Amino acid sequence: MMTTQDEHPNIEESVDWARGLLSRRRHKEIRRHCETCPTCNMRLAKILIIRTDDRRRMRRRAKRRLQLQMAAAVLLIMGAGAVLLASGYISDPASDLAALATTETIPQSHVGLRFRLAAPASPGGYESEFRAGMEALVREDYSDGIAILESLHAAHPSETEISTYLGVALYLSGDDSDRAKALLAQGGSHMQGRVRRTATWYLANSCLRSGDVESAVQLLKSIDSEDTDARYTRYAAELLRRIRGVRTK
């Protein structure tokens, strides 16, 4: 058990943190620690990715078993099913859920909030480059934004805010890789609510788009539970409602 914020959480406590089993106070202590500790931050990101991969493997095994059991029936109804699908009488739930994932980029207000009180960039600083990267996302120039933010991330790998917006840029470009999700997972532990909710929102949508609906739902619930009227809190509540609608068809 960790006794001060400066000590590193052990692996068991890190896993409990990722599973949401710790108290609210303990969860916040570890999150604050990870904002200044790249080692622990990356450990939490890896744990989240491993959990996602494990669930995917379990689903794939179950799907293969079901396919073997139902092969004969599928062969008999495949032609009729294809006609119905093309005619719009039936739909694919997995595709319907993936289609709910957002395509909306970050708003200009993110740039305003981030740089409204920022001091002039100091020699050797990265504020102006960071702003240019965020502005590229606002205007939906994702290739330019990724190039700028990748360069910043390479120079400042422990800066969670840069990692978050790089992860957002990758998501918006169609990248649902483990690396893109790990970058967003880092942002999910940020103390600043705007950054934390943004990272968690896009990570949830990445999971939804890549078929990991359960992880998406849990991430959305973690946003929805925040006692605030923030943008992504409202978005999370609405997306959870739409997911339930697809699942109950």
182-221 confidence digits (pLDDT tens): 999 998 888 888 889 999 999 999 999 999 999 999 999 9
Nearest C-alpha neighbor of 97 from the set 205, 233, 219, 220: 205
**Residue 63 has what pLDDT?**
61
Nearest C-alpha neighbor of 218 from the set 185, 180, 179: 185
Type of residue at 245 = G
- The secondary element (H helix, E strand) that includes residue 102 is none
Q: Cβ–Cβ contacts within 10 Å for residue 17, how many?
A: 23
Q: What is the pLDDT of residues 7-49, one digit of tens each?
A: 788 888 877 777 777 888 887 888 788 778 888 877 777 676 6
Q: Which residue did the predictor score with more confidence, 60 or 166? A: 166
Q: Is the pLDDT of residue 114 over 50?
A: yes
Q: Tell me the chain's radius of gyration from C-alpha atoms.
A: 20
d(CA 184, CA 176): 11
**Residue 191 has what pLDDT?**
85
**Max alpha carbon distance in the chain (Å)?**
70
d(CA 203, CA 208): 9
d(CA 170, CA 184): 10
Domain 108-247 = CATH 1.25.40.10: yes
d(CA 42, CA 54): 18
Of the CA atoms within 13 Å of residue 52, those in its CB half-sphere come to 27
Would you give the DSSP letter of residue 110? H
10 Å CB burial of residue 197 (0-12, 13-18, 19+) is buried
Write down the residue that tokens 């078993």 correspond to: 65
Pair of tokens at residue 32 = 């604050």
Determine the length of the chain: 249
Q: Is the pLDDT of residue 74 over 70?
A: no
Threshold 0.85, pTM exceeds? no
Pair of tokens at residue 176 = 């649902």
DSSP 175-189: ---HHHHHHHHHHTT
d(CA 56, CA 62): 10
d(CA 75, CA 194): 51
pLDDT category at 68 given cuts 50, 70, 90 is: low
10 Å CB burial of residue 21 (0-12, 13-18, 19+) is exposed
| Alpha carbon distance, N-terminus to C-terminus of the chain | 46
Pair of tokens at residue 23 = 């108290």
